[in-house]
Amino acid sequence: MTTTQANRIELALPKCPTGIQGLDQITGGGLPKARPTLVCGSAGCGKTLLAMEFLVRGAQQYKEPGVFVSFEESEQELMDNVISLGWDLEYLINQKKLLLDHIYIEPSEIQETGEYDLEGLFIRLGHAIESVNAKRVALDTLEALFGGFKSNFIMRAELRRLFRWLKDKGVTAVVTGEPGEGNLTRYGIEEYVSDCVIMLDHRMRGQVGTRRIRVVKYRGSPHGTNEYPFLVGERGLCVLPLTSLGLSYEVTTERVSTGIARLDTMLGGQGYYRGSSILVSGTPGTGKSTAAISFAQAACQRSERCLYFSLEEAETQVIRNMRSIGIDVEPWVKSGILQLHAERATSNGLEMHLITIHKLVNEFKPHIVVVDPISNLISVGTGEDVKSMLARVIDYLKMKGITALFTNLTRAGTPLETTETAISSLMDTWILLRDIENGGERNRGIYVLKSRGMAHSNQIREFLLTDKGADLLDVYLGPGEVLTGTARATRVAEEKAERAGRQEEIERRHRDLQRKRAVMEAQVAALRADFKAEEEELKKATAKTKMREGVLTKDGEKMRRMRKADE
């Protein structure tokens, strides 16, 4: 009975929530409660901040007082460093929720003469813990502490003892340390004596820095094994987990207009699904931004808030350019329903973009979000990074039920049905814009490559930018050719002429036949008349002959009688 109980307790390892955004998600609830956690990373990757936030959140949100022992920075420095994050340490200290202790170590002051231990430190620590009844402890950093003493042998033993001691005290501890050469840690034993090891990393790629966090080890608990980007945001650290968001968002059958009437028709007559993600891709100048802004405008007209991230054009430029096709977004911007956020893709790391999106979405609570174009982000990270960042954005927006439209520039020469970031699989609807070159001109074509969950048109339409916004036209679908623009118009005219010509021909032939019939009938009449005339003549002749014969007979008798013949 007791063993099973003990087992059960071990199974459900108690955790101590850090309160740091995202960190509790990747650790499955927080750090191991009443055990030490090692946070290692080189200079400037956010160790101290993580340790401090752990204590501040503990004091503010979880009613767990904490002790921060610093071997590097003084109390005042620590307070000043985090005031910009809105953490008022002084207040917490006065409330007895936090205790800062700067332990100053000057190696040159200390002469070592034989064996010693760090019991003084433990006593000092124990005293500090007791004075605020601390449940959380942070030690920052191990190297500064142990660097003050010469005997490596004693230090290793004391390190072990320190972790053991922290465990015995029942405090959840965050101990920071620096990575050793080729090793996770300087002494090579820190990671073994800790129950949880979190690795921080600050990496430069190109000229853009990215901070990353990884849970290397977590005794007795499953944890996310990936590297997650994290940021020092305005309110502290923010870890951005990818997988923890999962695929469990609510879906709706509600539709939203694309802002282009005939495109709605192509998408089953009603437009996009609300809360779906839409990709509009195409080569340069095919009207991606127009499609995007049309969508935004439609949202504004429905009185829905719209957040528009422009990674290419300045706000004023967007407004001016869109006015040229009859879309005036300025009133919407002025009324605050449309928020244009213009920023160069390269001005920030991917994670910073991500956090900006998160932040603005949280503040503005938009119904739709547009990012134009996402392909620009490629310049800030590798394809993989961008994909994982976008996956995060998409998941995040989906979770919030926000309809998101992304444009993507397809480089000339690459197949149209590709996105450099290979994110098409994350999208629900994919509208493809392409140019169709024909007859010495270039026209825009549009079609729906895919649209999950709706019957969509398979037709190519001509995408027309008029001074009254975007419109779609049927393209000319002749035998073996697709024509647009002037070619289409010419072809249509030609066809009309051809049709008219054919009509005339038939009429002519009708008339011909009519005439022929008339001729024929005239001839028949003539023949009949001839025949009749001949017949008449024959009759007359016959009658004459008869008469003559009669006369002859009469005459003969007369003659015989006159001759008084003897026969």
Partner 1 sequence: MADEDETSYQEAKAIKEAAEWVLRLYVAGQTRNAVKAFANLKKICGEHLEGRYRIEVIDLLENPQLAKGHRILAVPTLVRKLPPPVKKIIGDLSDTERVLVGLDLLPAWKGVGNDEEEKRTKRQSGDI
DSSP 280: E
Return the residue of 14, 80, 104, 526 that touches partner 1, per CB under 8 A.
Answer: 104
Q: Between vectors from CA 390 to CA 276 and to CA 415, what angle results, nearest 5°?
A: 85
Choose the binding region for partner 1 from 108-116, 233-241, 322-330, 445-453 (rule: CB under 8 A).
108-116
Q: Which of residues 146-165 bind partner 1 (CB under 8 A)?
A: 148-149
The residue with tokens 């499609």 is: 291
**494 assigned to active site:** no
Give yes or no: 72 in active site.
yes
- The single residue of 72, 90, 227, 343 carrying the catalytic annotation is 72
128 is a site residue for partner 1 (CB under 8 A)? yes
Omega of the bond leading into 407 within 30 degrees of 0 (cis): no
**How buried is residue 65: exposed, middle or buried, by Cβ count under 10 Å (0-12/13-18/19+)?**
buried
- Report the distance separating Cα 364 and Cα 339, nearest Å: 8
CB of 112 to partner 1, least distance (A): 5
Nearest CA to 407 out of 282, 271, 299, 315 is that of 282
| Alpha helices in 198-329, H assignment, sequence order | 261-266, 288-301, 315-323
The Cα–Cα gap between 441 and 483 comes to 11
Which of 28, 73, 75, 124 binds partner 1 (CB under 8 A)? It is: 124
Residue 555 found at the interface with partner 1 (CB under 8 A): no
Q: Which of 140/462 has CB closer to partner 1?
A: 140
Smaller CB distance to partner 1: residue 111 or 207? 111
Site for partner 1 in 395-434 (CB under 8 A): none
Question: Is residue 111 close enough to count as binding partner 1 by CB under 8 A?
Answer: yes
Q: Does 12 bind partner 1 (CB under 8 A)?
A: no
Note whether 114 binds partner 1 by CB under 8 A.
yes
Determine the interface stretch with partner 1 among 141-149, 187-195, 358-366, 369-377 (rule: CB under 8 A).
Answer: 141-149
The answer to whether 432 touches 284, Cβ cutoff 8 Å, is no
Find the distance separating the first CA and the last CA of the chain, reported in whole Å. Answer: 175
The answer to whether residue 142 forms part of the interface with partner 1 (CB under 8 A) is no
123 binds partner 1 (CB under 8 A): yes
List Cβ neighbours of 138 (8 Å cut-off, separation of 6 or more).
Answer: 51, 52, 54, 55, 66, 67, 68, 69, 173, 174, 175, 176
Q: Which is nearer to partner 1, 128 or 416 (CB)?
A: 128
Residues 6+ apart with CB under 8 A from 298: 256, 257, 258, 259
Catalytic residue among 75, 312, 313, 330: 312
Which of these segments, 144-152, 179-187, 211-219, 508-516, binds partner 1 (CB under 8 A)? 144-152
Measured from the CB atom, the residue of 109 and 567 that comes closer to partner 1 is 109
Q: Which of 85, 105, 157, 416 binds partner 1 (CB under 8 A)?
A: 105
Token readout for 312 is: 């290419």
Q: Does 116 bind partner 1 (CB under 8 A)?
A: yes
Q: Does 118 bind partner 1 (CB under 8 A)?
A: yes
Residues lying near partner 1 in the complex (CB under 8 A) are found at 101, 103-105, 109-121, 123-124, 126-128, 145, 148-149
What are the catalytic residues?
72, 312
